[in-house]
Amino acid sequence: MELICPAGTPAALRTAVNAGADAVYCGFSDATNARNFPGLNFSRPDMREGIDYARRRGAKVLVAINTFPTAGGQALWHRAVDDAVAAGADALILADIGLVDYAARTHPGQRLHLSVQAAAANPDAISVYVRHFGVRRVVLPRVLTVAEIAAITRSVDCETEVFIFGGLCVMAEGRCSLSTYVTGQSPNMNGVCSPASHVAYLEKDGTLASRLGDFTINRFAKNEAAAYPTLCKGRFKTELGSGYLFEDPVSLDAAEVLPGLRDAGVTALKIEGRQRGRAYIEGAVRGFREQLAALDAGRALPASRLAAMTEGQSSTVGAYRKTWR
């Protein structure tokens, strides 16, 4: 199985490649990619240099153009597709069906992957993209069990890619109405979820409050690990009680289900975290490279050593075993 690793900067790309990534995914410095944060992403020259660097070392570069074009603003997204192809991208990761159509018609020889943002999570939906646009791989949402992934892989005429480490997104990937309501910026249109410009931490009477915009998302006792304030992972008070009603502030770590994913026919394993630093990139890549080497050799999988890199220093296998409330 290929190990697909994030790169929010040219330095992160080099780190991922040097650590043993089979492929790196990254995006341009504009609204065409879903990690459109200040200080992240690639200029056009950066992208060309990054692709050349990776290729000379036997790795691939997948360019994420995975937000949805604004009405009347398609030219920015079309230009991103054209520029990524001209730079030599090994594949484009696309979400919008109109943009998939543009890429397939304009660059018929270009390999296309369907982004998780497209939320194609069953054989019928995936097959539309395969039949009509020649999509070669689909990135599956983080809401499926291993058995469901196996059933999909058997039923579609394309490769499947799944997330194995990093942040979790609740249900409809990238379509967070909660974050959009609070910050005025849409993950799928502006490329930002819970942007740092709207985050604040306030300490009072020994309690730390994390805020997003005008809303308190969580409160932490002294010495309690304080997670980043994304709304879906906040603590809520409802008639059901108080607690993490949507999702706990933990990270996905699917190392223990790697044998099942292999047997399910999964082609590629994806690490999340283009906004994370080089230490995270190197640690996650080397950790999973060790896991995969053991799997390929038929040895017992070593215990994951990535706890320090997880959100709140805690992890879950998420929906792979359907342990959610």
DSSP 128: H
Write down the pTM of the prediction: 0.92
User: Is the domain of 260 the same as that of 122?
Assistant: yes
User: Is the domain of 203 the same as that of 66?
Assistant: no
User: Is the domain of 105 the same as that of 237?
Assistant: no
What is the secondary structure of 178-242 as a DSSP string?
A: HHHHHHS--TTTTS-SS-GGGEEEEEETTEEEEEETTEEEEEE-TT-------GGGS-EEETTEE
Compute how many other C-beta atoms are within 10 angstroms of the C-beta atom of residue 32: 28
User: Is the domain of 163 the same as that of 124?
Assistant: yes
User: Is the domain of 189 the same as that of 255?
Assistant: no
Q: In the prediction, which pLDDT does 274 show? A: 92
CATH code at position 296: 3.20.20.70
User: Is the domain of 239 the same as that of 254?
Assistant: no
Report whether pLDDT(269) > 90.
yes
Sheet with 207-212: list strands edge to edge: 199-204, 207-212, 215-220
Closest CA to 85 of 55, 65, 69: 65
User: Is the domain of 144 the same as that of 282?
Assistant: yes
Name the CA radius of gyration of the chain, rounded.
19
Range with lowest mean pLDDT among 43-47, 170-174, 281-285: 170-174
Tokens of residue 77, six digits: 């997204």
Domain count, the chain: 2
Report whether pLDDT(325) > 60.
no
Model pLDDT for residues 110-161, shown as the tens digit of each residue: 999 999 999 899 999 999 999 999 999 999 998 899 999 999 999 999 999 9
Collapse the DSSP code of 316 into the 3-class scheme (helix H, G, I; strand E, B; otherwise coil) and give the result: strand
d(CA 94, CA 99): 7
Give phi and psi for 156, each to the nearest 5: -120, 155
User: Is the domain of 202 the same as that of 257?
Assistant: no
Domain boundary among 210, 228, 243: 243
User: Is the domain of 163 the same as that of 181?
Assistant: no
pLDDT mean over 55-59: 98
Q: In the prediction, which pLDDT does 171 show? A: 58
User: Is the domain of 259 the same as that of 147?
Assistant: yes
Structural domain span for residue 115: 2-168+250-321
User: Is the domain of 97 the same as that of 159?
Assistant: yes
User: Is the domain of 187 the same as that of 272?
Assistant: no
What does the mean pLDDT of the chain come to? 92
Find the helix or strand (DSSP H, E) in which 15 lies. helix 10-19
Residue type for position 135: V
Percent of the chain with pLDDT over 90: 69
